[in-house]
Structure 1
Amino acid sequence: MDQSNHLFKFNASLFKLPKSAKLRAFGVYLAGALYAIGFWLIIDAAIFSKTVNASVVHVTFVDWIPFICSLLGMLIVNLIEKSNLFSDSNNSFLSNGTNPNAWAARVILFFGFSLLAGGLAGSFMVLILKFLLKHYSFPTLGMGVSNIVCNLCIMLSCIVLWLSQNIEDEYSYSLAL
């Protein structure tokens, strides 16, 4: 194999996931649990803000923007199949192959992960600008912390779901013409 076209010393075949239906099912359930925890945290913070919170700080649309970015990133990342990323002519991840779909899939995947990272970074900025700079204490500060944990759970859910959905079953067949 010609190493002059490779950026890294290792081959993409090192990243093949094991074939197991149980591992795949566990990953899907774990991703669903992480998503449910994240979704519940943002809903709980919004309900707490409007009903129990005694301060003047409430959950507004600004608090929901990082969550929306994380959800869009999760949607984008999980719409891409792993096989499209490795569909170049010599099966190298960063090669100059002739298939433009591989590069398009990589760019879209990067955009999705950028939205996920932007959502997490945005939740940190909301915590800092809205809660920490104004010296609020708990339980008001808990609304900002729950926003961070929510976006972190959504990001982890996205990664676990993408990895587990791309695990091939032992008995799956690829029918191509």
Structure 2
Amino acid sequence: MAKNLSMVVVKLTLRIFALANWTFLDAAILSAHAHAPYEEPQVPPPVHVSFVDWLPGICSLLGMIVINLIDKDRVQGHEDFGDARAVWRARLFLFIGFALMAGGLAGSVTVLVLKYILHHYTEQYTYYGYANVSQNVALMLSAIVLWISQSVSTEYEYTLSI
């Protein structure tokens, strides 16, 4: 029964991860194919998705990878790993992973506000910023679901400690 639960959690995580990246990819494709209004063909689109928009997602993705590569038993110090500083290093890398994810979310909100909202673009162009924020939120949610699923020992028991 626990294997069925873990498969459900993995499928849920993959769907959240895919939704996150497809949302931002949709905004990037829309931005690449944006054209001038038909009434004013000489006016170019005011804004496009650039490398600055990609950076928060890259930071969140790296943070998610770092968080889920760390063994939870090593962070809690349950097993003897031979090195006395192994627990400290695991916690440091876990902190770096969470810092990357928090930085990615903060960066996406900053890009949304500074690049899209303050310039009062239409809803067509502010969608690029909202897609960036939703990508980072979904990546964080996906990492949290994977982190919690690592602590499932039986179907009805969850250990929510770090």
TM-score for both structures, normalised by structure 2: 0.82
Deviations 1:48-68 (A, max 9, x none): 001135422000000000011
Identity %: 45
Question: What corresponds to 2:41 in structure 1?
Answer: none
Structure 1: give runs of 5+ residues left out of the alignment. 1-18, 90-97, 171-177
User: What is the letter of the counterpart of residue 124 of structure 2?
Assistant: P
Query: RMSD across aligned C-alpha pairs, in angstroms?
Result: 2.0
Contact 1:53 1:140 in 2 (8 A): no
Question: What corresponds to 1:65 in structure 2?
Answer: 55
* Aligned-partner Cα distance in 1 for 2:35–2:84: 55
Question: What corresponds to 1:43 in structure 2?
Answer: 25
Question: What corresponds to 2:101 in structure 1?
Answer: 116
Count of residues in Structure 1 that have an aligned counterpart in Structure 2: 144
Contact 2:77 2:87 in 1 (8 A): yes
Pairing 1:31–2:13 present: yes
Question: What corresponds to 1:138 in structure 2?
Answer: 123
Structure 2: give runs of 5+ residues left out of the alignment. 37-44, 156-162
TM-score for both structures, normalised by structure 1: 0.75
- Aligned pairs for 1:1-177 (under 5 A) are 20-52=2-34, 54=36, 55-87=45-77, 99-168=84-153
Contact 1:88 1:102 in 2 (8 A): no
User: What is the letter of the counterpart of residue 56 of structure 1?
Assistant: P
* Aligned-partner Cα distance in 2 for 1:150–1:57: 19
